[in-house]
Every structure is written in structure tokens, then in C-alpha cells.
Structure 1
Amino acid sequence: MRATATKRSWKQKFFIFAFICAFFALLNTGYWFFQTDRFPIQRVKLIGDMAHVSHQTLQSVITPHIQAGFFSVNVSKLQKELLLLPWIKRADVRRVWPGQLVVHLSEHDPKAIWNDEALMSREAILFSPPLTDIQSLNLPRLHGPEGKHMLVWEQYLSIEEKISSLHLRIVTLELAHRGAWQLQLSNGIQIKLGTQDVLVRLQRFVDAYQKALSQESRPIAYVDLRYTNGMAVGWATNTKVSNIRK
């Protein structure tokens, strides 16, 4: 019995010793793997068309991270920092063996300027690049109260569809704090739509423009559609206003 117990004790000691040796060997292997000079990141591959974010800007964000080495680089943190760049819409960072970091990037596609201080994408996402970037873009200018950008964008799309047959574009669209809509077209005409039945009133303008207003030799300053069945037309050359009723 004593011999059996002694044998069992030696087995336990052996397994403990073997476990300790394996543990330290693993630690040593891990230390060896995570040494940056042994497994450096040798190449960064950027995928994506960057029209507004410079290579220098991307380099300034990525370089501090790759110094950690292939196994130690924090891809999640790098991804978050890339997304902080105002033009970046999506960022995906992953390691590719051996020694390569692949960075997939895509930019926002701006469709309008919001309140002269931000840009808006087709998904009505607001982002705020430098004002110099905003001012350099020839985009429709949308204005409205804070938090109403999605409503204004949806109305913009509806109006664009309505006037598509006129071959005109919206230059500005404004929603006032009291809920009144007005816009300016690419031919300089300002249209006052009021607060109710906006698209119905706009259709009235489309019909009148196709039938008569587009043939006018006098430049039109504005069209006021805040009437039940008609509109007022103001001419740019003088103060005369014509009332057109259906």
C-alpha cells in the first residue's frame, strides 16, 4: 500500500512539474511571438477610392498602430480612429499573414449641404468635414431646424421628382421654423409653397410652367403658391405682380 501511494505521489509531482514547464514554455513562446521586431507589419494595403481623404492623413492615423507589430496591433482601435475622420463612412481592418495589414475604406457620398455647416449623404447621414471642403462643393443647399434634416431631405427628393420634367434643379430648399417651405430653382425662380399641400401646390406650378411660364421672355423672380386655387408671379425686371388663377 505504501509503495502504491508513493508511486501515485511521484506521478502527481511529475504532472505538476510538467504543467509548470509547459506553462513557462507557453509564456516564453507568447513573448517571442509578440516581439515587434520578430513579426513586424511589413506592408499596409489600402483598398478604396479616396477622393477627399489624403494619403498623409491616413498615414498619420495608421502609422502609430503598426509599430506594435503584427500580433499586437489593435485592429479594433485603429478601425474606430479611422471612423473618426469626417469623410470616412466605413472602415474594416484585418491582419493578413505574413506581416500585412489590409485596410478597406469607403467615403461618404455627399448629396447636399445642410445649414451651410455639414454635408448630407443619400441616407440622410450628416457629417462635418472642414468648411473649406463644404464650400468647394456645388451641391443643393438645404436649410431647416435642428433635427429636421431627414424630413427636409425626403421633401427634397419628392420635389426633385415633381420638377424632373422641367429640366430644372433645386438650388436651395428651406423649411422655416413655423413649417413653411420655399425653394429656389436653377433658373433663379424662387417658389413659396407655404405649410400645407406642398406637393399639390408645386404641381400647380409645374403645370403653369409647362403651359405658359417657360415661354415668358421676362425673367421671373418668384412664384407664390400660397393660394387655394392660383398663384402670384413676380417679375425680376420690375415690381409688377401677375395673379394667375385656375
Structure 2
Amino acid sequence: MSQARRKSSQPQTVPLAQRLRWPLGLALGLALVIGGGFIAQQWLAEFEGPAFETLVIKGERRQLSPDHIRAQVKPALESGYFGADLSGLRQNLEAEPWVASVSVRRQWPSTLELTVREQVPVAIWNRQGFLNHSGDFFVPREIHEEPGFLPELNGPEGSESEVLDRYRDFQEQLDRIGLVAETVTLSERRAWQMGLMEGPTLYLGRQDGERRFTRFVSVAYPALKQAGRFQLDDLDYIDMRYTNGFSLAPKVASGASETEDAGNG
């Protein structure tokens, strides 16, 4: 065997420094990346960016004044473009009774934009606050603009959506005959009654309230109009808690209206 072949068959030895070169380089690279990321994070945490110079408030508002919103936003404006806590700002604004929802975003280099959706009251609840379209109860601290006519709804705690839905069903039928529900009440004993605007109270009882109300619209009211004996504003109440009829009382007999759960229930 030749000397050249004997030399090539022997294992080659790689110097230690060369074997460690790539692991050391990789470790050094990772250290630089991690260290650089940590430094960048520290730098961003300390650098709040340019101050906000412009506040843009979008959304239709009747009860929320721009000055009030600016006062709520002021701490975020002072924190700078990067340092502002937009999530905390949104939560603070949504805690305001008149605020339904808020979206917040930055616009480079110095603008903060708010889109505010204001609560829209559709009814008064238990003479304590308002209900919105979803039946959510809210109590504003101030009312800057009168909301106009709102029905007065009453009921036990937790029945807000149920009473609002029943009011809507009632009013849809009343629209056909040109009447307006001023109050709708669900008592603790689950009895329904309604007050007509410039008219009597309707007693509907605990059972079959919707059917009894439909009977008022389709039978009782047309009969009263045809008879011509009473105008609605002359009546104290109309009691629909009868199987095949109804009773009524003129305002001079108002004492009879105290017996809410009399009759068939």
C-alpha cells in the first residue's frame, strides 16, 4: 500500500478553536438579538413619543359635551403618542352613563381620534333612570338636552327587557287605532296594566295579557266609539280581566281603580 493511501485513511483532526467557532458565533448572535431587543424595549418604554396636538371626536352626541370628553381624555393626551394607555382610556369613557361604546385610535404624528356612540334612551324605567334599545338600564348624572316624550315603564328588577318588549308589542297594535301607551307596568305579582295617554288605565291581569289587550283593540275600543257614551279621557279605567267582556269606570268612580288584582286575575 502506498504511503499516500495510508495518509488519507487516517482520521483528520480539526482544531478545537475551529470546532467551537460556529457555536460561539451562534451564541454571540443570540445574545446580541436578545440584548438588542431588551434595550429596544427599554427605549420604547421610556420614549413616549410626540405629544398629541389634535383630538378628533366623531359620533352624534346630544348629552355628552366635547369639554367633558376632553377632560376625560386629558391624561392620555399628556402621555404622548406611544405612552398613551388607549385601552384604559376606552374603559374610562365607557364607564360614563351616557356612553354606549367608544373606539380609540392614533393617527401619526400627533392626532388622537375617538368615535363615541351615545346611549339613546327609549323609555323611563321605574322613575329612576332610562332603558336603551336593548333594554339596558342606565342612570345619567346629568341631562343636558331633554329627550322628549318617553313611555314610563315599571317592573321588578331584572324584567327590563321583558317589559320593554311588551310595550313595543302593545304600541304596535295601538298605532293602528291612533292611541299611545304612556305607561306599562308589570307588578310583583306578574299582573300587567297600561296607561293610555290622556286616557284610562287598562287592567290586563296576570294571565293572557296579550290576548286581553288584543280584545281591547279589536272589540272594546270599537264598541266604545260606536256607543259614543264615553270618551277615553272621561274614563278612569277599563278592566279587561273577564272571559267574554270588560268593565269600565268613569273618573268620578276613581276609588274603584285601587283594586288592581280584582276580577279574574
Q: What is residue 47 of structure 2 aligned with on the other side?
A: 35
Q: What is residue 174 of structure 2 aligned with on the other side?
A: 163
Query: Cα offset for 1:20?
Result: 4.5
Q: What secondary structure is seen at the aligned counterpart in 2 of 1:184?
A: strand
Q: What secondary structure is seen at the aligned counterpart in 1 of 2:173?
A: helix
Task: Map residues 225-240 of structure 1 onto 2, 5 A cutoff.
Answer: 225-237=240-252
Higher-Rg member (1/2): 2
The alignment yields a C-alpha RMSD, in angstroms, of: 3.2
* 1:224 equivalent in alignment to 2:235: no
Task: Map residues 78-227 of structure 1 onto 2, 5 A cutoff.
Answer: 78-130=89-141, 137-206=148-217, 207-213=219-225, 215-218=228-231, 219-227=234-242
8 Å CA contact retained: 1:34, 1:69? no
Q: What is residue 56 of structure 1 aligned with on the other side?
A: 67
Q: What percentage of residue pairs aligned between the two structures are identical? A: 26
Q: What secondary structure is seen at the aligned counterpart in 2 of 1:173?
A: strand
Which structure 1 residue ranges, 4+ long, deviate > 4 Å from structure 2? 1-4, 6-11, 17-22, 131-137, 237-241
Cα distance change, pair 5–122 in 1 and its aligned pair in 2 (3 A): same
Worse overlay, 134-143 or 15-24: 15-24
Query: Cα offset for 1:57?
Result: 1.5
- Structure ranking higher in strand proportion: 1
Task: Tell me the distance in 1 between the aligned counterparts of 2:80 and 2:184.
Answer: 51
8 Å CA contact retained: 1:95, 1:102? yes
Gaps of 5+ in 1: 242-246
8 Å CA contact retained: 2:63, 2:145? no
Query: Cα offset for 1:147?
Result: 0.8
Query: Cα offset for 1:83?
Result: 0.5
Q: What secondary structure is seen at the aligned counterpart in 2 of 1:40?
A: coil
Q: What secondary structure is seen at the aligned counterpart in 2 of 1:212?
A: helix
Task: Tell me the distance in 2 between the aligned counterparts of 1:134 and 1:143.
Answer: 23
Gaps of 5+ in 2: 1-12, 257-265
Task: Tell me the distance in 2 between the aligned counterparts of 1:105 and 1:238.
Answer: 51
Amino acid aligned to 2:95: L
Count of residue pairs the alignment pairs up: 240
8 Å CA contact retained: 1:193, 1:202? yes
Cα distance change, pair 190–61 in 1 and its aligned pair in 2 (3 A): same
Amino acid aligned to 1:151: E
The TM-score normalised by the length of structure 1 is 0.83
Q: What secondary structure is seen at the aligned counterpart in 2 of 1:110?
A: coil
